[in-house]
Structure 1
């Protein structure tokens, strides 16, 4: 972890690639020395190499970046006239098995798992060529962007800047969003639902618990789908990443892990105000809907995001905070955001945090999604209209300057908000180990089962993190060509647990991108499997800490396996795994110590989402168009933002609220008096006149 910006740095012998989760900055490539990394299979350059001799074109949308997506999965939308038999026949020909279907705007998007006969690129291309298919794409990944008496309010410079020094840096007076002035009008409402699609929320944090949304149609803990939406016990939202009912936000202490991203955003939007504890959000009072689409590894899949958006629409959220970004334009994601637009939901998206140089990019020329849905864009050659519900947000610093890491765009980024050295809530860092395997004492008794094609998995003492043993795919030298082998761990339970994740120490040497190791997890003791993040490249003979991903909470028949896959050319030493662990969150966050500074366009975005919530607390009938106009037409214009964001400025909460708080009706109880109206003279409520109706 590097201050001031969340930063993961990996060294690759092939290429560097920027990924963004939330607007918190980090980098993706291959692990070197003490840090771990990843590069998903079939990036643009290598996809083109593999496809070239087949006369095919790689489906990645543009040169200059690799496409990141879940291995072995494709999303397909068929045309309305496509018959069931034609769909089934085509998928069988592809070696594709349907995992799950999603309904978006009354149409169905099919999620298929490939059997390995075709690569993701090949399958997408074949689907696209079929006349029954409207579109096909990989399952893309996106990455994790009145003064109250709260004890750390003085550190909240983005809300109220008097030039104070925060985290070692002095600010500029009034380089803030004028939150105290806005709170003279409204501090929020429990009737406004803001959905946070992210790594989850520590809904048990003392500064968040009062403002967490509870599903009115669900009875907690009874194991029944009371509201009939197909999700059992979705009390505070849902975990669409691990597909379980607990959207808790786990902290990962590994260098590249999730720092409690979603919880940090939630505190910016609606940390409980005036409660004598910690921080306050832009809204003192709201309902935060926890929609977990990623987790400890910071990656969010298209399917998880789309499912989360659908949930927000169904359950009447009015604002969605989307602090994640990626370079790939998903048509499925576009369709889902469009449905949110039709439902009058404002979609606030992080502009992103630049590339490998940690210098902000111009989104007008280097698109980032979903932020670029705010302007006309192209998805796989198809022109897409701008979505009127999207606001893309850049980040400013304590002196009202565009943050050095912040993306910008004169047409594609609309507004800026504070995003540097932002303090907010964090989950507890305490964990308990459900399982810990170091392979040192009776390793054969741990219950691992080996199998697959060309499998040579076993225990070795030739390399280890904790002496003397480790688990390896190839104990007797290099792995073999055309391997698809696995090591299956024992069944374990996460019942009564939350925030569970799989991590280990790992040493690896594989053919970059073509050969890889990745875990798969099961919720039915090993009958069906779901992949987690893959690893490829070279750790330079070092064991490095690596968090593979989230494990479903509350499952009796949990299981994991490590799978190793190689192609027909070039072999290397393979992978060594040690200190394999299932760790789950333990205990509650502290209202005194569980706060942290983070920065990125991720942190700027919830300032805007919180402002939208404040506007709705004043007038719940505001349309998306009115919300957007109130936010963008009332900014504090700043020279540093001219030509960088279309509104030319940083949000001003007081001015925005004043623009919609034009009329109030009050009833008096004074004897002999009638009812009257308090009428605001534009643009604020400082000048009032009292009218008593004629008697």
Structure 2
């Protein structure tokens, strides 16, 4: 059972033969209990008629190897030819199917990883690679965006200062990065291969050119790579290209202390990590693959690296037990599926393919992907807040209690619910874009949510359990305290609003869905036409001054 899941609590309401998935914002409706025993919900609240488990309502993807992915959906798979774990236990997975059902991708985010290359031709990956538009549309062999790296279209090579991230150019062909990236972003619902945890994100690979380099040399390349990511994130924030990097996955490490003063390379890495935190980048690291308590004398990088934006992940098997994984209640925060998981891979004789692999390396990217889901839906949350959400929303497991900080495994569904609660508490009610203001972009987001029958109760501003025109009316009259027709949102509806709206030139332009509030779409249907004039004048605010 997840802890701190949120007063949005999980429930399914069956009404008039329409099944609706909702979460209650307020305690007044009594929807504050988890649906562990769904048949009892009706007894707990008079407002619920028929309750059923939401998992039964979720469609399966059409990825051909999906049924083998216990980390995505643990249905009791038994890989007796691979290990002696036995059948899996239902629910010991990422809980990602439920999260997919409620997730809304409000802004595209980028997951970065440091690996020694990736199979850039893998058909289950290449459509989800990040694309640097300036370089993609630029001149080959030229640093078109002036960031110090030539042709860094899908990422950057720290050794060569260019965009060569393909695994086949390295000194030893290593498909490790292909598997790590695949856990995070393998294309879902493409009728082929495997499903990634979050294929709505884009993958940016930073790499070095020597898989056999020393740890300190690797850390130096990684530190340089973090600087690259910060620069790309800063460019994005300034509307100057770049990449909306929100998380960096590190599935490489070694037994070396991560304390300041040990070595200049470690100090530089920790400085870069602090800078990444300020830029809004979470760092997810995989702990070691040995059953060692890293709270003791055996220190490991990055397990023992500390920082508000750093979280370390251990690996569990499909029965919920630690599997070839380091631990430590003060050094490993969370666990995730990582034993005998199916991932995209590369073989010399087969080429691009798939394989069962094991290790914390393949647990961490799932956590990175879930953190990216949170960032894409609630972009105002800081790395430290997301890290705490992942910990607080985890599922306790007996084998993990007392061994890792959370005592449990990640739960994507519970994490999204808790993220919604904490994000809402940060911003004024109705400030959906998180900029601290109630403006036209917010009413446009709400209008879209109403049209698309969104299930995200962030938009339920009147707290009646539904997202509909009543929420739009509440936003306009109660939150913004203005009239229908106030196109420029200055608090009055007068002739200046017609000038403001008609200047956009979208009145009855026969282009569907291209208008927002500022362009005259006052009834929320996405278009500016005569019906908007009717509802605005019917509201009675024209030349009436401010709303009483």
Taking structure 2 as the reference length, the TM-score comes to: 0.61
Q: Is the 8 A contact 1:198 1:294 kept in 2?
A: no
Which of the two has greater strand per residue? 1
**Is residue 2:241 matched to residue 1:332?**
no
Aligned to 1:315: 232
CA distance in 1, matches of 2:361, 2:326: 11
1:629 and 2:548 aligned: no
> For 1:220 and 1:171, how far apart are their aligned partners in 2?
50
1:667 pairs, out of 447, 450, 456, with 447
Q: Which one of the candidate residues 280, 283, 290 is aligned to 2:205?
A: 290
Separation of aligned partners in 1, 2:98 and 2:454: 25
In structure 2, distance between residues paired with 1:244 and 1:348: 25
> What is the aligned partner in structure 1 of residue 97 from structure 2?
180
Against the structure 1 CA distance between its residues 315 and 678, is the aligned structure 2 distance closer, same or farther, given a 3 Å change threshold? closer
Segments of structure 1 that go 5 or more residues without pairing to the other structure are 1-145, 375-386, 431-587
Could you say what the CA RMSD is over the residues aligned between the two structures, in angstroms?
Answer: 3.1
1:331–1:195 distance in 2 versus 1, CA, 3 Å? same
3-state SS of the aligned residue for 1:426?
A: strand
Q: CA deviation at 1:625?
A: 2.1
Deviates more, 1:223-232 or 1:644-653: 223-232
1:158 aligned partner: 71
Task: Report the 3-state secondary structure (helix = DSSP H, G, I; strand = E; otherwise coil) of the residue aligned with 2:178.
Answer: helix
SS at match of 1:617: helix
Alignment of 1:608 with 2:373, yes or no, is: no
Size of the aligned set, in residue pairs, is 365
Return the match for 1:420 from 339, 347, 369.
Answer: 339
Alpha-carbon displacement from aligned partner over 1:179-205 (angstroms, at most 9, x marks no partner): 100000127577101111111222221
Distance 1:178 1:428, change over 3 A: same
For residues 544-693 of structure 1, the aligned pairs below 5 Å read 589-590=351-352, 594-662=353-421, 666-667=446-447, 679=457, 688=466, 691-692=470-471, 693=473
Provide the secondary structure at the position in 2 that maps to 1:401: coil
Higher helix share: 2
Q: Is the 8 A contact 2:149 2:161 kept in 1?
A: no
5+ residue gaps in structure 2?
Answer: 1-58, 234-244, 259-265, 425-431, 433-444, 475-538, 540-548
Counterpart pick for 1:275 among 184, 187, 190: 190
What SS is found at the alignment partner of 2:363?
helix
Q: Distance in 2 between matches of 1:421 and 1:337?
A: 31
Pick the aligned partner of 1:303 from 220, 223, 237: 220
Q: Tell me the CA shift for residue 298 of structure 1.
A: 7.7
Of residues 147, 152, 157, the one that matches 1:239 is 157
After superposition, the Cα gap between the structure-2 partners of 1:676 and 1:334, relative to the gap in structure 1 and judged at 3 Å, is: closer
Separation of aligned partners in 1, 2:454 and 2:62: 34
CA contact (8 A) 1:250 1:295 kept: no
- For residues 604 and 422 of structure 1, what CA distance do their matches in structure 2 show? 9
Whether the 8 Å CA contact 1:188–1:283 is kept in 2: the answer is no
Question: How many Å apart are 1:617 and its aligned residue?
Answer: 1.9
Distance 2:169 2:341 in 1: 18
**What SS is found at the alignment partner of 1:306?**
helix
- The 3 A distance-change label for structure 1 pair 668 and 235 is closer
Q: Verify: 1:372 aligned to 2:131, yes or no.
A: no
Alpha carbons of 1:597 and 1:676: their partners in 2 closer, same or farther (altered >3 Å)?
Answer: closer
**Aligned partner of residue 285 in structure 1, secondary structure:** coil
How many angstroms apart in 2 are the aligned matches of 1:598 and 1:243? 31
Change (3 A) 1:369 1:686: farther
Does 1:389 find its partner at 2:305? no
Native 8 Å contact 2:151 2:162 kept in 1: no
Per-residue CA deviations over 1:318-372 (Å, capped at 9, x if unaligned) read 1000111122232222222122112121000011112xxxx33434432111221
Conserved in 2, the CA contact under 8 Å of 1:258 and 1:295? no
2:109 equivalent among 172, 189, 192: 192
